[in-house]
Amino acid sequence: MTLTGELLIGAAGVLATAGTMTAFNPASGELIEPEFALGGAAEVDRAVRLAEEAFDSYSHTGLAERAAFLDLIADKLEAVKDELAARTSLETGLPADHLAAETLRAAATFRKFATVVRQGRFLQTAIDPAQPDRQPTPRMDHRLQKVALGPVVIFGASNFPISYSVAGGDTASALAAGCPVILKAHNAHPGASEIQGRVIQQAVAEAGLHEGVFSLIRGAGNEIGEALVDHPLVRAVTFTGSEVGGMALYRRAQQRRDPIPVFTEMTSVNPTFVLPAALAARGAEIGNSLIQRAMFNVGQACLKPATLLAVDGPGFQELREAASAEVEKAAARTMLTPGIHDAYNRNVQRMGECGATLIGAGAAPTRAWDGQSQLYEVTGDQLLAEPVLREEVFGPAVLLVRLTSVDQLLEVARAFRGQLTAAMHADAPDHPAAARLLPILERRTGRIVINALSLPQEVSYASTHGGAFPATSDSRFTSVGMGAIERFLRPVTYQNFPDALLPEPLREGNPLHLWRLVDGELGQH
Ligand code: NAP
């Protein structure tokens, strides 16, 4: 695919109106062709108006037609897998084979949402038939289904440049719900964004859909994101990135004349609690495997297990030594952007200033934007006293916490803010302590893992990639997995309707053979 650097506004490629930018290879420091267009408020307005024009037809596409469109995007993503991985690797410093796998994950996500759409359960249809003879008042016929919210703005993430970016799960779930998407591309990978954007743009055209179903916008600075969040026709926003950025956009959306939901996924240290019997039995193994997991993507992952907590006693020294030996084996690797690299160095320095002791370091950096793996240690008292030590350090650093007792472990667990995930290692003798820890974790996290690593989130029906603030801005929803579609839907009740005017999923005789709740009974009736 030849990259043009244009913005993709509906079916059109649009040249710069607000200057240009050039992609950057963080491994070599070289600029990469071509120049990429930057847009402004006029392009935002054009893209959102097109999305609004597309909304009525797109949100009313038949389930089979919409599912076929999502499958088409999946086919096209698979077809560009190698080209997309190669370009993305140049722009991010991440290995091409990981990025090819990420492309396949993104394609699989579109296919899974195609299945969700075909099944139609996301519509959550419910029918309460009329009861004309009910006493003391008759009941009219009530029928409910979920409908799409409207045009959705999606901020692509920097750290998973495919599966959380242009062709990521946010886009797949919004399109599955029937919402047109305006994608705010992350400037860290403009070529990767264009390839993915063109794939979706071509699928829109081939599926015969309104061109406004998808647009891709890029701009300089905060203005473009602010203009998108402010646009009166936008109905929802998703964001993956920093707490500062996410909360700025969230607050902005709440200050609109008509506030809209902003689903942000921001920050998490994903604590791992090792209980005493598990520590004694498997301290070294836990220390070793956790560090390997934490260094994935150079530690630039929302699910990085950043904080490892254990009670000092049998197994602690083995855990500490294994973890620090694993860190010392780690090569220095290129971080995503100079900004993320510099923030990493500032944050590890701040950990040191807050009293953390460096107990292991990987190979020293040889290139400008390499991140050096580091393992720090603090006591439970230090962690309780210094909130900075409980905050995310985005990059290849892990904090080991030496606790005095199970009671202190529980106290520390209560001190954490909301988390995407938390893990515990617990053998049978640990179960009473695990049972005390569990409700503390439930209050704070969207996923609890036991005796395993918090591996990348499955895209499945039982997944939760959410959690209490500041992991997300709305703990009622997930941003990964089939439940992610619920962010873009709202219920509408049709009361006393003649069958001919009802939406097809709610008609008598169940023409789409959906699972429906009829008078409280779930079935294909
Ligand atoms: P970011 O700075 O929050 O930016 C994410 C996106 O939001 C970018 O497109 C950015 O646009 C836009 N944006 C941010 N603040 C904005 C504002 N006030 N108004 C309008 N638009 C705004 O995140 P990042 O660039 O990916 O990385 C920076 C830091 O975020 C990392 O060092 C890390 O700490 C954190 N992060 C965390 C996760 C996680 O999963 N936990 C993932 C990614 C990043 P511009 O680029 O044009 O400013």
CATH class of this structure's domain 272-450: alpha beta
Copy the structure tokens of residue 14. 């649009």
Q: Write the residue with the smallest CA distance to atom 32 of ligand 1.
A: 340
206-215, 256-265, 337-346, 456-465: least confident range: 456-465
Cα–ligand 1 centroid distance for 159 (angstroms): 10
Cα angle for residues 240, 246, 252 (degrees, 5° grid): 135
| Kind of pairing between the strands at 521-523 and 516-518 | antiparallel
Q: Write the residue with the smallest CA distance to atom 8 of ligand 1.
A: 186
Atom in ligand 1 nearest the alpha carbon of residue 302: 40
Percent of the chain with pLDDT over 90: 98
Atom in ligand 1 nearest the alpha carbon of residue 268: 41
How many other C-beta atoms can be found within 10 angstroms of the C-beta atom of residue 495? 11
Confidence of residue 18 (pLDDT cuts 50, 70, 90): confident
Sign of CA dihedral 245, 247, 250, 254: negative
Give the DSSP per-residue string, 279-301: HHHHHHHHHHHHHHHHTGGGG--
Cα 181 to chain centroid distance, Å, stands at 16
More confident residue, 335 or 453: 335
Whole-number pLDDT of residue 151? 98
Cα–ligand 1 centroid distance for 224 (angstroms): 13
Give the DSSP per-residue string, 36-62: EE---HHHHHHHHHHHHHHHHHHHTS-
Copy the structure tokens of residue 424. 């515990």
Atom in ligand 1 nearest the alpha carbon of residue 248: 18
Cα–ligand 1 centroid distance for 242 (angstroms): 5
Cα–ligand 1 centroid distance for 113 (angstroms): 26
**If DSSP codes are grouped into helix, strand and coil, which group holds residue 359?**
strand
Average pLDDT for the chain: 97
14-23, 400-409, 425-434, 479-488: least confident range: 14-23
Q: Write the residue with the smallest CA distance to atom 13 of ligand 1.
A: 245
Q: State the average pLDDT over residues 364-389.
A: 97
Q: Write the residue with the smallest CA distance to atom 42 of ligand 1.
A: 241
| Kind of pairing between the strands at 20-24 and 307-311 | unpaired
> What's the one-letter identity of residue 124?
Q
| 461 has a pLDDT exceeding 90 | yes
Confidence of residue 304 (pLDDT cuts 50, 70, 90): very high
Enclosing H/E stretch for 505 = none
- What kind of fold does domain 7-130+145-266+475-487 have according to CATH? Aldehyde Dehydrogenase; Chain A, domain 1 (3.40.605)
Q: Calculate Rg over the CA atoms of the chain.
A: 25
**What's the count of helices (H) and strands (E) in the chain, helices before strands?**
14, 23
Q: H/E/C letters for each residue in 384-404?
A: HHCHHHHCCCCCCEEEEEEEC
Mutation test residue for ligand 1: of 216, 242, 340, 350, the one with most atoms within 8 Å of CB: 242
Of 236, 273, 314, the residue nearest 416 (C-alpha): 273
Atom in ligand 1 nearest the alpha carbon of residue 223: 20
- Residues with C-beta less than 6 Å from any ligand 1 atom: 155, 157-159, 184, 186-187, 221-222, 225-226, 240-242, 245, 248-249, 267, 302, 340, 343, 394
Q: For residue range 251-264, list pLDDT tens digits in order.
A: 999 999 999 999 99
Phi, psi of 486 (to 5 degrees): -65, -20
Of 286, 204, 326, the residue nearest 450 (C-alpha): 286
Confidence of residue 221 (pLDDT cuts 50, 70, 90): confident
Cα angle for residues 106, 112, 118 (degrees, 5° grid): 140
Confidence of residue 455 (pLDDT cuts 50, 70, 90): confident
Cα–ligand 1 centroid distance for 368 (angstroms): 21
Q: What is the dihedral of CA 474, 478, 480, 483, to 10 degrees?
A: -140
Q: Which residues are catalytic?
A: 265, 302
Cα–ligand 1 centroid distance for 440 (angstroms): 29
Cα–ligand 1 centroid distance for 364 (angstroms): 27
Atom in ligand 1 nearest the alpha carbon of residue 226: 20
| 231 has a pLDDT exceeding 90 | yes
Q: Angle, nearest 10°, between helix axes 81-92 and 190-206?
A: 150
**Distance, CA of 40 to CA of 19 (rounded, Å):** 10
**Distance, CA of 166 to CA of 363 (rounded, Å):** 34
Mutation test residue for ligand 1: of 7, 91, 154, 158, the one with most atoms within 8 Å of CB: 158
> What's the one-letter identity of residue 32?
I
How many other C-beta atoms can be found within 10 angstroms of the C-beta atom of residue 311? 23
| 456 has a pLDDT exceeding 90 | no
Whole-structure pTM value:
0.97
Atom in ligand 1 nearest the alpha carbon of residue 158: 26
Tell me the H-state helices in 330-483: 338-353, 380-385, 406-415, 431-444
Q: For residue range 131-173, list pLDDT tens digits in order.
A: 999 999 999 999 999 999 999 999 999 999 999 999 999 999 9
Question: How is residue 457 annotated by DSSP?
Answer: P
**Distance, CA of 374 to CA of 395 (rounded, Å):** 9
| 445 has a pLDDT exceeding 90 | yes
| 113 has a pLDDT exceeding 90 | yes
Domain borders along the chain are 7-130+145-266+475-487, 272-450
Q: Write the residue with the smallest CA distance to atom 35 of ligand 1.
A: 242
What residues does 379 pair with on adjacent strands? 402
Burial of 507 (0-12, 13-18, 19+ CB in 10 A): middle
**Distance, CA of 181 to CA of 51 (rounded, Å):** 7
Confidence of residue 488 (pLDDT cuts 50, 70, 90): very high
Q: Write the residue with the smallest CA distance to atom 40 of ligand 1.
A: 302
Q: Write the residue with the smallest CA distance to atom 30 of ligand 1.
A: 242
Among all chains, which residue has been given the structure tokens 């040889």? 366
Are 214 and 102 in contact by the 8 Å Cβ rule? The answer is no
Copy the structure tokens of residue 28. 């070599």
**Distance, CA of 355 to CA of 289 (rounded, Å):** 26
Confidence of residue 89 (pLDDT cuts 50, 70, 90): very high
**Distance, CA of 485 to CA of 164 (rounded, Å):** 15
Cα–ligand 1 centroid distance for 157 (angstroms): 7
Confidence of residue 17 (pLDDT cuts 50, 70, 90): confident
